[in-house]
Structure 1
Amino acid sequence: MDRDNVKVEDGGTKADKELGWGKSLPVPSVQEMVKNDSESVPERYIKEYQDRPIDSTLSPNMFDNIPVIDFSLLVSGDGDKLNKLDSACKEWGFFQLINHGVEVEVLNSMKAAVAAFFDLPLEEKKKYAMAENDIQGYGQAYVVSEHQKLDWCDISFLITQPPEYRNFKYWPTTLPGFKEAVDEYSKEVERVTVAICECLSRLMGLDKHGLKRLHGVMKQSMRLNYYPRCSRTDLVLGVSPHSDAGSMTFLLQDDEITALQIKYKERWLPVKPIPNTLVVNVGDALEAWSNGVYRSIEHRAVTNTKKERISIAAFVLPDDEVQIGPVDSMMVDRPRLYRNVKFLDYLKHFLDKNLDGKSHTSFLKLEKEL
């Protein structure tokens, strides 16, 4: 199908063109593999020993947990909450956001829409498969080699904001309620994003709209994740360790299953879900803009033996042509540690590799960094 002739709803035109971000090789559906044989783990999914989720790598203090920030107090100008946001982004790179104002019905509708998509027959889901030259759609991301180890996860990747960037070729628009659920949830995440940006702008010595303005056209994409249950959770990972390329990520996860882990003080710390909370993390672009004051943190997802798990990661992204590099206010008492890089160049570098911790961020850093 000629992508230039794709008809886009909402009056959009931007989606008619290829993203130009990268591509991912097609691989079999893990969901279907488990349906056909729930006990076997194919060799290609078995991680190398040093990469497996071994208990000895977990944080010994399981009472440690990432900061919890009350959004309603934060945006009301509470100084203590602003300081807590600053500390969370510096020390953890992650925080859980409560009282964010997104209605429970909106959260549940989004989860239900994703579950309904992955419940579709395989042949129906394949109608929305990733194209050879695109990472949008149904499949698996970061597959750059026929020989690399794979994650125990199926995904669908969509551009969700602004509306004119959506490409409905990859949306299951015939699935009742799907488009409406994504539309409502994506707008709510955008609202929260703008408010967090205003708080971070203040902390970074910028004017109220400074961080939002740095994005150019602030984009949002979503990765819809389906993690089947696994008989050998000690051998596989749902998602390999990585940091996120954008400025921020908002994760809506299963309230009942602890699967997300972050790398904290060189150990893996499980992030126990708080019902109806959004997990927020710093991305590589914000790390670069802040000159390394705020750090994107490695994180991964493990599997479980009992039931499948769904999560929704909403990525906040700068415009392709925007430069990501330290802002002047973050170099007053700190030498420049990052160079200026066009975000599209960084994103291509990021997507051309399999997930490997934070190795890709060396592309952003000056060689003189110690």
Structure 2
Amino acid sequence: MPVPVPTLGSFEYVAETKEHLPWADLVTLDLSLYATPKGRKELAKTLITAVREKGFFYVRNFGVSQEAVNRQFAIGKAFYDLPLEEKLRYVPDNFDKGGFNGYMPAGRIIIDPNTGLKDKVEVYNIPKFNGDFTHDHPAPVSRNLPEIEQFVRDLQTKVVEPLLTLVAIALELPEDYLRKIHQYEVKSEACNHHRSSSDRAHRYLYPRYMKCSKHPMSDNERLSSWVPGHTDLGSFTLLFRQPVAGLQIQDPVTEEWKWVKPQNATLTVNTCDALQLLTGGYVQSTIHRVMPPPKDQQHVDRLGLLYFSRPHNDVKLATIQDSPVLQREGYVKNPFEASGNPVPTMEEWTFAKQKWQRTGYLGPQRASKEVLPGVSREGLYLNRPWMGLRLGHRLPPFFCFY
């Protein structure tokens, strides 16, 4: 049965930058090949190489129309056009304890202690539509909830589940092995997210929208990241983007920062902490950040649309012991197991990391703050042999901004 479609204002995309930037060399997965066993085998081989070497890749032919994507961008724009006072009504009651469903205003994190420059991130998160969460939203979201739900469920079935299947095939596991711990109807903090960013604000909504508004930036803002280097919490992050440059990834081997080029009719996807932990470091959770756009794009609004997939809340983030590949390659312990600390569930990891980001990371004593009981920021620094990378290389703490 078709979902009713309320009238929305239009959303206009912008021209690509003409600047020559150092672009990351990322592979593209064509999900039209997924329909056959041979195609899935080929895709699994391509995907596992991508998520081990870079942690980022593109996806095309994923079965969601550009019209549906454009509608989500328009919903995000309508939300961010609301007065700040209206958006502040939707700050979660448990914000200081790591809660994230609802609105999170900008300025939560000092990204340059020398100048006092704060983050440019606003967030509005919409949780799952599976009955476990209440849905009390401002008008631009609430009147479009059926459409948002359909969009989210399409991303789950047409993108996330195929990607989980391909990772399982690459690990020589049953095809449904990872899908079983990522079922949409089971409670988890998986969500869709709109993000918008500007020199004043960098905003998010589940689906997340990113907006860069047309105001001039100070010298400090031009030189500072809007979202500092971080990793994401869950299994996969799906990112729809305007053709505005801003996203950068840090090469896991060379540590060089490379720009991620927006591409037409594709999703940008990255693997996250949960998959890295579940595979003992075999899969990469790559550090990435958001920088101000090139000069020829700083005059336009910039929006992005994201969806975050995570395992069920009660899943222990211990290394999978059933994979012949992980056993052969020696990826049998993740940082928690290697350090003798308790292995958190997905729910514990989500709220602990969120809370730490908002409290421990900000304070003058942040270096000694704990992420989880018994696990400090330093406790997550490990040599990288367990990740299959060169000896002596230091692993930055798992860290995510929302």
Whether these two folds match at TM > 0.5 is: yes
Match of 1:67 in 2: 27
Deviations 1:295-319 (A, max 9, x none): 1000111123312212122111112
Q: Is 1:212–1:218's contact at 8 Å kept on the other side of the alignment?
A: no
- Which of 79, 86, 98 aligns to 1:117? It is 79
Match of 2:191 in 1: 221
SS of the aligned residue for 2:131 comes to: helix
Deviation at 1:128, TM superposition (A): 2.0
Deviation at 1:335, TM superposition (A): 4.6
Q: Measure the CA separation in 2 of the matches of 1:237 and 1:62.
A: 17
Q: CA 1:351–1:100 in structure 2 vs 1: closer, same or farther (change >3 Å)?
A: same
Q: CA 1:241–1:156 in structure 2 vs 1: closer, same or farther (change >3 Å)?
A: same
SS of the aligned residue for 1:353 comes to: helix
Match of 2:120 in 1: 152
Q: Does 1:263 align with 2:228?
A: no
Deviation at 1:167, TM superposition (A): 2.3
Q: Measure the CA separation in 2 of the matches of 1:73 and 1:142.
A: 44
Amino acid at match of 1:258: A
Q: Measure the CA separation in 1 of the matches of 2:384 and 2:26.
A: 31
Q: CA 1:165–1:187 in structure 2 vs 1: closer, same or farther (change >3 Å)?
A: same
Q: Is 2:226–2:291's contact at 8 Å kept on the other side of the alignment?
A: yes
Match of 1:280 in 2: 269
Deviation at 1:75, TM superposition (A): 4.4
- Which of 294, 298, 316 aligns to 2:283? It is 294
Deviation at 1:138, TM superposition (A): 1.4
Amino acid at match of 1:252: F
Q: Is 1:218–1:317's contact at 8 Å kept on the other side of the alignment?
A: no
Q: Is 1:252–1:279's contact at 8 Å kept on the other side of the alignment?
A: yes
Deviation at 1:166, TM superposition (A): 3.4
- Which of 187, 198, 218 aligns to 2:165? It is 198
Q: Is 1:251–1:312's contact at 8 Å kept on the other side of the alignment?
A: yes
Deviation at 1:348, TM superposition (A): 2.7
Q: Is 1:113–1:181's contact at 8 Å kept on the other side of the alignment?
A: no
Match of 2:333 in 1: 337
- Which of 84, 93, 104 aligns to 1:139? It is 104
Q: TM-score, normalising length from structure 1?
A: 0.74
Q: Measure the CA separation in 2 of the matches of 1:223 and 1:247.
A: 15
Q: Which runs of 5+ in 1 are unaligned?
A: 1-59
Q: Measure the CA separation in 2 of the matches of 1:246 and 1:200.
A: 15
Report the more deviating stretch, 111-120 or 74-83.
Answer: 74-83
SS of the aligned residue for 1:188 comes to: helix
Match of 1:212 in 2: 179
Report the more deviating stretch, 178-187 or 200-209.
Answer: 178-187
Deviation at 1:149, TM superposition (A): 5.2
Q: Measure the CA separation in 2 of the matches of 1:335 and 1:317.
A: 21
Match of 1:247 in 2: 235
SS of the aligned residue for 1:109 comes to: helix
Q: Is 1:247–1:286's contact at 8 Å kept on the other side of the alignment?
A: yes
Q: Measure the CA separation in 2 of the matches of 1:349 and 1:236.
A: 27
Q: Measure the CA separation in 1 of the matches of 2:308 and 2:316.
A: 18
Q: Is 2:110–2:119's contact at 8 Å kept on the other side of the alignment?
A: no
Q: Is 1:201–1:210's contact at 8 Å kept on the other side of the alignment?
A: yes
Q: Is 1:74–1:82's contact at 8 Å kept on the other side of the alignment?
A: no
Q: Which has the higher contact order (CA 8 A, sep 6+)?
A: 1
Identity over the aligned pairs, expressed in percent? 22
Q: Measure the CA separation in 2 of the matches of 1:251 and 1:203.
A: 23
Q: Is 2:236–2:308's contact at 8 Å kept on the other side of the alignment?
A: yes
Q: Does 1:127 align with 2:116?
A: no
Q: Which runs of 5+ in 2 are unaligned?
A: 1-19, 199-212, 338-342, 362-370, 392-402
Q: Measure the CA separation in 2 of the matches of 1:303 and 1:367.
A: 31
Q: Measure the CA separation in 2 of the matches of 1:215 and 1:362.
A: 28
Report the more deviating stretch, 324-333 or 128-137.
Answer: 128-137
Deviation at 1:136, TM superposition (A): 1.6
Q: Measure the CA separation in 1 of the matches of 2:151 and 2:107.
A: 25
Match of 1:348 in 2: 351
- Which of 296, 303, 321 aligns to 1:310? It is 303
Deviation at 1:104, TM superposition (A): 1.0
Q: CA 1:298–1:145 in structure 2 vs 1: closer, same or farther (change >3 Å)?
A: closer
SS of the aligned residue for 2:89 comes to: helix
Number of residue pairs matched by the alignment: 307
Q: CA 1:123–1:68 in structure 2 vs 1: closer, same or farther (change >3 Å)?
A: same
Q: Does 1:80 align with 2:42?
A: yes
Amino acid at match of 2:222: D
Q: Measure the CA separation in 2 of the matches of 1:176 and 1:164.
A: 16
Deviation at 1:142, TM superposition (A): 9.6
Deviation at 1:205, TM superposition (A): 1.7
